[in-house]
Structure 1
């Protein structure tokens, strides 16, 4: 099915996107395939027309739609979830939150991200969440992939035995090479989780980071730096998750003022990873603006840092959040390490396994404020630059093609794998319809 500009279904498809930048775009056409052959036809159509092909899965990313592009919307019909013993077959239009909810009655789960909205972009690029330290990346659960290369060739991969190079490259870089229509994932037993949240002053960030870095892998301590809903001053939200045992009682800190402790039955039941009100609850989310062009815009970096950098890290983050252009801007520190390090570095193209922290710098603004965009982008870029000297990896779920930083992002993301990825991309994507792996030359900036 093809949706064209001016049609109500076209407008609704864009309005349904979570990401404000993508929702505000004007694609050439939106295609909703029903089968793999429709995906092949869409790939060939993009090649023949010489236009970019954007893939819509969860609708979380700003790369799921763009001006003048063909949008391949998998969320309409590629939504099957089939569980067989300890594996689940998932089609490419399924969001990670929906997958968790579907698995919960079967008492199984997957380690996914800190929010419910991402789709296959998170799965294929890495997948960092509250259970990464104990269960690994979402990507580490993949046991089979099905899809269509950017030249229109369908493929099926069952582990590394058949084609070890493609298997390794697709897990961590698939959005640059192919459209993944289906993944088979190894599930884990659904577990009860204890979560403890608390708000703190910025001044203690270094000590909080130091305490987190010596925690066992069964425990994850992530943070949000931002402005709470009822405050004008930025603060630190500490968010600790660990696997509960039947004998566990609530920790002593749970009775302290400003500490909120919960035991939940599965990952999908955790409280939002967001700044709370003074009583630990969350403000009522306003309804999404019916005008798709008036959603929040974003400029986001995701950069990884090894352990032992707490002093310089805390100093840079404290300064940055106090200089944030508006209260919408935030900095997340997602705690990794543990089981993420168990997999060999070259088992996939995700090269951030040595990191302790994945730092997500979220610059947000409302499009009605015409002066806000450049200020927020400058703020987010400046923090990226400040952290670059201690950075060991860039998580390319957020990237900035066409900018002066993109070459550095690619090198930090893929290191020595970059040259091989670029070579494979030239073969698999001869017309460059999928996202680029090339940085612009300085003369073009």
Structure 2
């Protein structure tokens, strides 16, 4: 099925997109394929029309839609999840939360990100969450992929048949630049109950909190959110600890000191409290209803940089200064705790090159649609925070990126390092017309 501007179904499809920038775009048409054969047909159509191709799975990326593009809406029909023993096969339009729910009756799980709504487009870039230190990235669980190259050719590749394959390595970390992934098979793990601990502190506590977190065993993740809680006026630091039930003997004493802690005992990742700032009593306010007008959604400008351990005394002051300069109460900085099992995999096992990092730091500038002054301020703020952290960074996690800007070449270099020339070469082979997102800096 293909939808066009002026049709009610076209508007409905865009209104269902999570990302505000993507929802407000004007794609030339929206394709809603029912199987891989139809995906290939629509890709060939985009090739024939020399039309940019944008792929929607969970709808979190700015690049799942675009003005004048052919938008492939995989989420409309390709949402199947099949569990077979310790493997789960997931179609390209499925969100990670749906995968966890499908695995729950089988007492299995995969480590996923800190939010349940992203799709499996982002998992092919990495997949960082509360259980990454214990089990690795979502990407590390992938054992097979199916899809369609940007030239319309279909492919299938499996780990056991891809020993030493450069294609296998490059797809796992850069697939959105090369192909439309229609199906992924992942190895799962036994599901165990989790213990979450949340705590609010003042921002100056950050340097000590980072040092303490870096001393924790891999069975414990200690992530942070820096931002303004809903019922407060000043930025605070939220510490969010996650471990498996039964591992509490590994908890250090500092987690029981100072401010009040809120404990959550849940059956699995999908039941953990949202990775958002609570009220001062620990309660998360209800999620606001989705704005029905797709042109009035919240907009964002986001960077994600990876920083190694041992830099707390340089990192903390820069983050505190950034929060003091935030242009509005919506802007925030998340520090997702990695290391542990993420670092166990060889760097050459995939194109994700942040394995030596301890922190994946998400810099989020937000503003309301139509607020030009706040847009400019939020973008400048996020740019400045990226610039301040760049000298500490060992990697950029390209779930969001900024083509056409002066920072894009540096983002690409930090993301892919010495693999960037080979990745660009492969893109010319798999996407000769440049239909998928670009790997080139502005000219």
1:202–1:257 Cα change, 3 Å = closer
CA distance in structure 2 between the aligned counterparts of 1:427 and 1:175, rounded to whole angstroms? 14
CA shift at 1:104, angstroms? 1.0
Partners of 1:91 and 1:181 within 8 A in 2: yes
Which position in structure 1 is the counterpart of 2:311? 309
**Is the contact made by 1:44 and 1:151 (CA closer than 8 Å) also made in structure 2?**
yes
Query: RMSD of aligned C-alpha atoms?
Result: 1.6
Deviation of 1:131 after TM superposition, in Å, equals 0.3
Instruction: Kindly indicate whether the alpha-carbon contact (under 8 Å) linking 2:403 and 2:438 is maintained by their aligned counterparts in 1.
Output: yes
Deviation of the 1:247 alpha carbon: 8.1
User: Alignment partner for residue 266 of structure 2, among 256, 264, 267?
Assistant: 264
1:110 maps to 110
Secondary structure at the counterpart of residue 75 of structure 2 = coil
Secondary structure of the structure 2 residue equivalent to 1:285: coil
What SS is found at the alignment partner of 1:360?
strand
* Local SS of the residue matching 2:391: helix
Change (3 A) 1:256 1:203: closer
Specify the alignment match of 2:59 in structure 1.
59
Match of 2:188 in 1: 187
Q: For the structure 1 residues 410 and 251, does the alpha-carbon distance in structure 2 shift closer, same or farther, using more than 3 Å as the test? A: closer
Which residue pairs with 2:438 in the alignment? 436
In the TM superposition, residue 263 of structure 1 has moved relative to its aligned partner by: 1.2
For residues 167 and 255 of structure 1, what CA distance do their matches in structure 2 show?
A: 47
Contact 2:46 2:70 in 1 (8 A): yes
Name the stretch that deviates more: 398-407 or 250-259. 250-259
Matches of 2:424 and 2:251, distance apart in 1: 51
Alignment partners' CA distance in 2, 1:7 and 1:186: 41
2:81 paired with 1:81 = yes
**Counterpart contact for 1:113–1:122, Cα < 8 Å:** no
Question: For the residues of structure 2 that align with 1:247 and 1:61, how far apart are their CA atoms?
Answer: 36
C-alpha distance in structure 2 between counterparts of 1:37 and 1:424, whole Å: 23
SS state at 2:233 partner: coil
Query: 1:36-435 maps to which residues of 2 (within 5 A)?
Result: 36-159=36-159, 161-162=161-162, 164-245=165-246, 258-435=260-437
The secondary structure found in structure 2 opposite 1:381 is: helix
Q: Deviations over 1:193-214 (max 9, x none)?
A: 1111000001110010000001
1:440, distance to aligned residue in structure 2 (A): 1.2
User: Which piece of structure 1 moves more, 100-109 or 415-424?
Assistant: 100-109
Q: Which runs of 5+ in 2 are unaligned?
A: none
Structure 1: which 5+ residue stretches go unaligned?
Answer: none
How far apart, CA to CA, are the structure 1 residues paired with 2:69 and 2:344?
Answer: 39
Q: Which runs of 4+ in 1 moved over 6 A?
A: 246-252
TM-score, normalised to structure 2, is 0.97
Tell me the secondary structure at the aligned position of residue 391 of structure 1: coil
What is the number of residues matched between the two proteins? 441
Match of 2:35 in 1: 35
